[in-house]
């Protein structure tokens, strides 16, 4: 989990979040790169798409309406639209529901904590409780 200031754009933190992935395996090296990244329109920047392409990660991110209009306005020079798997994107509702669950915790929803480390510890505690389903 990466905790940033409330005014910080989430899309700018995608690379830092992906660099923190560390999934141990029964044998061999731990997994550090996902196969697919599903995200909302806030993560559709060219920088993020290029990073995912360079790391051979499939991006399931819809384009913003203004990006689509801008590309179409350029005509044939606008290029092809990025690939988008609409069927896979339907599974993103699980993530949205988990965020809604986090919002039920008053301290997390209102961000009363002054220190980022305190706020992060509360999010980790909530994730553990969710995982244990207590």
Model pLDDT, residue 52: 93
- The residue extents of the domains of the chain are 10-86
* Residue 115 CB-half CA count within 13 A: 4
What is the band of 6 on the pLDDT scale with cuts at 50, 70, 90? low
Model pLDDT, residue 17: 85
Model pLDDT, residue 45: 85
Model pLDDT, residue 58: 92
**What is the rounded (10 degree) CA torsion for 66, 67, 73, 74?**
160
- Once rounded to an integer, what is the mean pLDDT over residues 78-91? 87
- Once rounded to an integer, what is the mean pLDDT over residues 114-123? 83
Q: pTM for the full model?
A: 0.74
Sole residue written with tokens 């995200």: 39
The pLDDT tens digits of the residues spanning 24-65 come to 999 999 989 898 888 888 888 888 999 999 999 999 999 989
Compute the chain's Rg from CA coordinates: 18
Tokens of 11: 């899309």
Q: What percent of the chain has pLDDT over 70?
A: 96
**What is the rounded (10 degree) CA torsion for 6, 35, 94, 108?**
-30
């Amino acid at each position: 989990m990466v905790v940033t200031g409330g005014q910080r754009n989430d899309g700018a933190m995608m690379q830092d979040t992906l660099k923190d992935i560390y999934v141990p395996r029964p044998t061999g090296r731990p997994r550090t790169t996902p196969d697919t990244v599903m995200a909302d329109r806030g993560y559709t920047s060219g920088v993020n798409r290029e990073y995912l392409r360079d790391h051979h990660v499939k991006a399931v991110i819809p384009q913003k309406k203004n990006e689509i209009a801008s590309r179409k306005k350029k005509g044939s020079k606008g290029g092809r639209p990025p690939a988008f798997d609409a069927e896979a994107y339907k599974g993103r509702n699980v993530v949205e529901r988990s965020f809604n669950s986090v919002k039920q915790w008053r301290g997390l929803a209102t961000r009363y904590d002054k220190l980022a480390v305190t706020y992060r510890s509360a999010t980790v505690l909530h994730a553990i409780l969710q995982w244990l389903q207590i």
